[in-house]
Amino acid sequence: MTDQIVEMMNANLASTIPIADKMGLKIVEARRGFAAASVPVEGNGNHFGVIYAGVQFTVAEILGGIIALSTFDTSKFFPLVKNVDITFVSMATTPLRAEASLDDETIARVAAEAAERGKANYTLEAVVSDANGTVVATTRGLYQLRAHNR
């Protein structure tokens, strides 16, 4: 089931977030409470030979939506981003992988609150690492799960 979700998300990326598709961003894992995405070096460099900051931001930020889509009832709710802060830790010169997770307690709280109030906020911390496992950036994002009919 997880592989089917990932394939579907990647197939829809070009129409849902065209710039992420153009970056070569790929969702590599998507399951309840966990998401990971990757982005290549090719085509994503900047003027001094490292991966552009906006690409690093995108590979991390997209995880808030991916987790929501693979964790909550998409027939009732959709995710949106309210705020994301990023800290650049090291130069990025290799393909990148970003990962984030939500614990079971947070998932239960968000699901209950969204069902009751029509929306619920959740905070997600992501880590962006290079091919050697070196952390190159971290993010802290505020996302919202919102009912379709509100």
Task: Give the CATH number for residue 62.
Answer: 3.10.129.10
Mean pLDDT in residue range 140-145: 97
Q: Which residues contact 102 (CB under 8 A, 6 or more apart)?
A: 33, 34, 67, 71, 110, 122, 124
Q: Is the pLDDT of residue 122 over 90?
A: yes
Question: For residue 119, what are its two tokens?
Answer: 């929306």
Residue 133 to residue 61: CA distance in whole angstroms: 19
Phi, psi of 118 (to 5 degrees): 90, -5
Looking at per-residue pLDDT, the higher value among 6 and 100 belongs to: 100
Among the listed residues 126, 124, 125, 122, the one whose alpha carbon sits nearest the alpha carbon of residue 145: 122
What pLDDT score does 150 carry?
56
Q: Is the pLDDT of residue 4 over 90?
A: no
Whether this prediction's pTM lies above 0.75 is answered by yes
Q: Is the pLDDT of residue 1 over 70?
A: no
Domain ranges, residue 41: 2-147
Phi, psi of 90 (to 5 degrees): -155, 160
What is the H or E stretch that residue 41 is in?
Answer: none
Give the torsion sign (CA, 103, 109, 113, 115).
Answer: positive
Q: Is the pLDDT of residue 26 over 90?
A: yes
Q: Is the pLDDT of residue 104 over 70?
A: yes
Q: Residue 7's beta-bridge partner residues?
A: none
The strands making up 135-147's β-sheet, listed across from edge to edge, are 26-31, 34-39, 96-101, 119-130, 135-147, 77-88
Q: Is the pLDDT of residue 69 over 70?
A: yes
- How many domains is the chain partitioned into structurally? 1
